[in-house]
Structure 1
Amino acid sequence: MTPNQKHPTESETQKELTYIQKVWHTVAIVALLVVVILIARVAFNVLLMVLAGILISVYFHGFGDLIQRRTKWPRRTCMLISVGGSFVILGVLFWFMGTKISNQIAILSDTLPHTISTAKLKMSETPLGKKALEYLSDDNSDELFATARKFFSTSFGVLGDLYIIMFLAIFFTTSPNLYKDGIIKLIPGDKRELAHCVIDRISVTLKGWLKSMMLSMVLVFILLTVGLSIMSIPVALVLALFTGLLKLIPNFGSAAAMVPGVLLALTISTNTAIIVALIYIVTQTIVSYIVTPLIQKKMIDLPPALTILAQVLMGTLSGVLGVVLAVPLLAIIMILVDELYVKKIDKVV
């Protein structure tokens, strides 16, 4: 060591150690936040599956209530008929329609390349179609398909999610009071009456949403099957079933379901494609703006812009499951805000 060099003082050494400790504390906090965010995201997907199980359970109980009102049979018997009868009805439908649907799916898969090439040829004949093809032919198409793959991804995979959801639904159906009472016990004693009120209101709202969705899906399936069959559109049954299932996704589902039907009609003629598009639009308008509002009287009124924002946010966070459950989740949140905040503010004012 040269004479000009000085030993670091004790205070300088202490400051250096303090700085290093602060850096490591900061790194630890950031790492902890990342872990918490990842856990929260996974937990959120699990909560969505719980909500899906609750919705199926609500359906079973609603069906059981209907049977009990009509027959006056014991509750346990009605619930057994509700659960067993639902699976029997699904089995019978797949038995009678499964072969035809599978054949039409095979036809649709085989003819898809020819359909796409024919649709591109028809679209290239119009200026608007050329612009659409230019947009889809560059890097935007890769980005679009990547977004679609991400959008339709789920945390455990589709089959795994369905497996968990069905088991949750069965557990919630067999012992609903066990879980309801467990939630209420977590609430302070003076707030339990309010908790009962909130849970009952949420139950009524979810029943209204389920009733409207099921009837809307059936009506869309029937009307489109008839309309597309009249127009001699191939695989009309599959297209109608696809549209009915996508009715679970408000706004975006209707637009997405319309694409394959119009593309198939475009292979026949441009006029046929226009008529088929009108069939889709008229069907969706009748169901969405006439039938659904009549059924959803007991459901909370959701602003359309807020519904779309909720779907986009939920789709980004949890894929297709989030989009499907965006509306009931938004309804639950609005009920909680109304009961726990808005009504208290109104009382104070």
Structure 2
Amino acid sequence: MIKTKTEHTTQKELTYIQKVWQTVAIIALLVIIILIARVAFNLLLMVLCGTLVSVYFHGLGDLIERKTRLSRKWAMIISVCGTFALLAISLWFMGTKIAIQVSQLSESLPHTINNFQAKLSKDPLGHKVLEYFNGRNSNQKMMDTAQSFFSTSFGVLGNIYIILFLGIFFSVNPSIYKDGILLLLPENKKFMGLYVINRISLSLKGWLKGTLLATVLVTVMLTICFTFMDLPVALVLALIAGILRIIPNFGTAAAMIPGVLLALTISTNTAIIVALMYIVTQTIVGNIITPIIQKKLINMPPALTIISQILMGTLSGALGIILAVPLLAIVMILVDELYVKPMRAKAKGQINTNLTV
């Protein structure tokens, strides 16, 4: 009888150990799946970047083809080669100046923050704010974070070569990839799939066109304004504002920080004027460019845009924030075409049936 109880206890211990190891194995498998999914998601974002590059090349090729009546092949060659030639010329004339100004901004940023803190401490309310947030560790961390951000603001896309090559490959023969996607669909869904692909392409072209126009206009307008004011590192500040214009809602506010902080080292009035320049420029560009974007993009609720930016930023950092809007547009188009419209058609059919009966 004692032997039977011992065997029973041993069997229960073995069963418990097996359950523990099974639980550990399941948790480890879930962690591996999550890590793989995150890597796959980052890869998906790189593919989306390559797709946007291809959309840009094809959009420019369409414009060249319409204006010059050249063949599609030559229009695409001019589009790709002309873009790289324009980039090379821009870097040739402005690359050294931009690099010097980026270095100056990175080196002067700690002094600028200290100067801002000194001016803020003179005000009673500002002094209380500094006392609340001040601390050696938090202060140093803020400086290091800001300095790192502005010194790497032109290197957000770390895998830019891969993205460019993907964009070129997608541009050379896009029908291969489009037909490959359509092959995965049933025969009766191929027309719908082609329609969805074309609608997504049109939406991405509209977003890209509006974004590029906004970036160029903001950069040019602020460069002229800051140069006229003789503000230090004017070109870099304008470029930062133009690049951050890609990010709705948060980009405009983030772009103002370095310019206003730098202007505070000159005078308070200069900082106020610089802040007004940012606001006026962004308002003018927003009123001109936003209607162009809205004509091509579906109407996205602002709250949904902010939520997608926060979610994408948490998952993939800066690249996720930049691509949040086009990715949200793609998701909304897919939901509209694959779920909303069929549900409406089904409901309409039921209503017509009831009326007939």
The equivalent position to 1:312 in structure 2, one of 310, 313, 317, is 310
Could you tell me which residue of structure 2 aligns to residue 221 of structure 1?
A: 219
Is residue 2:131 matched to residue 1:134? yes
Report if the CA contact (8 A) 2:237-2:259 is conserved.
yes
Shift of 1:254: 1.1
After superposition, where does 1:74-89 map in structure 2 within 5 Å?
A: 74-89=71-86
Taking structure 1 as reference, are residues 18 and 50 closer, same or farther at Cα in structure 2, changes over 3 Å only?
Answer: same
Could you tell me which residue of structure 2 aligns to residue 235 of structure 1?
A: 233
Report if the CA contact (8 A) 1:67-1:78 is conserved.
yes
Give the 3-state SS of the residue equivalent to 2:298 in structure 1.
Answer: coil
Report if the CA contact (8 A) 1:64-1:79 is conserved.
yes
The equivalent position to 1:258 in structure 2, one of 256, 259, 266, is 256
Report if the CA contact (8 A) 1:225-1:237 is conserved.
yes
Aligned-residue CA RMSD in angstroms? 2.6
Give the 3-state SS of the residue equivalent to 2:255 in structure 1.
Answer: helix
Taking structure 1 as reference, are residues 106 and 29 closer, same or farther at Cα in structure 2, changes over 3 Å only?
Answer: closer
Could you tell me which residue of structure 1 aligns to residue 173 of structure 2?
A: 175
Could you tell me which residue of structure 1 aligns to residue 204 of structure 2?
A: 206
Report if the CA contact (8 A) 1:135-1:141 is conserved.
no
- Higher-RCO chain (CA-CA 8 Å, sequence separation at least 6): 1
Deviates more, 1:237-246 or 1:55-64: 237-246
Could you tell me which residue of structure 2 aligns to residue 343 of structure 1?
A: 341
For 2:119, the aligned partner's letter is K
CA distances 1:270-289 after superposition (whole Å, capped 9, x unpaired): 11111111111111112123
For 1:198, the aligned partner's letter is V
Is residue 2:97 matched to residue 1:90? no
Shift of 1:151: 9.4
- Identical-residue share of aligned pairs (%): 63
Cα distance in structure 2, aligned partners of 1:34 and 1:258: 40
After superposition, where does 1:239-318 map in structure 2 within 5 Å?
A: 239-318=237-316
Q: Which runs of 5+ in 2 are unaligned?
A: 348-357
Taking structure 1 as reference, are residues 149 and 313 closer, same or farther at Cα in structure 2, changes over 3 Å only?
Answer: farther
Report if the CA contact (8 A) 1:55-1:210 is conserved.
yes
Shift of 1:29: 1.4
For 1:222, the aligned partner's letter is V
Q: Which runs of 5+ in 1 are unaligned?
A: none
For 1:62, the aligned partner's letter is G
Cα distance in structure 2, aligned partners of 1:5 and 1:84: 87
Give the 3-state SS of the residue equivalent to 1:165 in structure 2.
Answer: helix
Taking structure 1 as reference, are residues 148 and 309 closer, same or farther at Cα in structure 2, changes over 3 Å only?
Answer: farther
Taking structure 1 as reference, are residues 106 and 9 closer, same or farther at Cα in structure 2, changes over 3 Å only?
Answer: closer
Is residue 2:105 matched to residue 1:117? no
Cα distance in structure 2, aligned partners of 1:140 and 1:249: 27
Shift of 1:20: 3.1
Cα distance in structure 1, aligned partners of 2:45 and 2:149: 16
Could you tell me which residue of structure 1 aligns to residue 41 of structure 2?
A: 44
For 1:79, the aligned partner's letter is M
For 2:213, the aligned partner's letter is L
The equivalent position to 1:71 in structure 2, one of 68, 74, 81, is 68
How does the TM-score come out when normalised to structure 2? Answer: 0.88
For 1:104, the aligned partner's letter is Q
Report if the CA contact (8 A) 1:151-1:320 is conserved.
no
Deviates more, 1:284-293 or 1:300-309: 284-293
Could you tell me which residue of structure 1 aligns to residue 352 of structure 2?
A: none
Cα distance in structure 2, aligned partners of 1:15 and 1:176: 61
How does the TM-score come out when normalised to structure 1? Answer: 0.90
Shift of 1:15: 4.4
Shift of 1:24: 2.3
Cα distance in structure 2, aligned partners of 1:36 and 1:71: 51
The equivalent position to 2:327 in structure 1, one of 329, 332, 341, is 329
Cα distance in structure 2, aligned partners of 1:36 and 1:267: 51
Cα distance in structure 2, aligned partners of 1:314 and 1:148: 21
Shift of 1:10: 5.7
CA distances 1:107-151 after superposition (whole Å, capped 9, x unpaired): 334433432332222222224433443354235556767988999
The equivalent position to 2:23 in structure 1, one of 23, 26, 35, is 26
Deviates more, 1:124-133 or 1:8-17: 8-17
CA distances 1:253-279 after superposition (whole Å, capped 9, x unpaired): 111110111011111111111111111
Deviates more, 1:122-131 or 1:333-342: 122-131
For 1:122, the aligned partner's letter is K
Taking structure 1 as reference, are residues 270 and 147 closer, same or farther at Cα in structure 2, changes over 3 Å only?
Answer: closer
Tell me the matched-pair count: 343
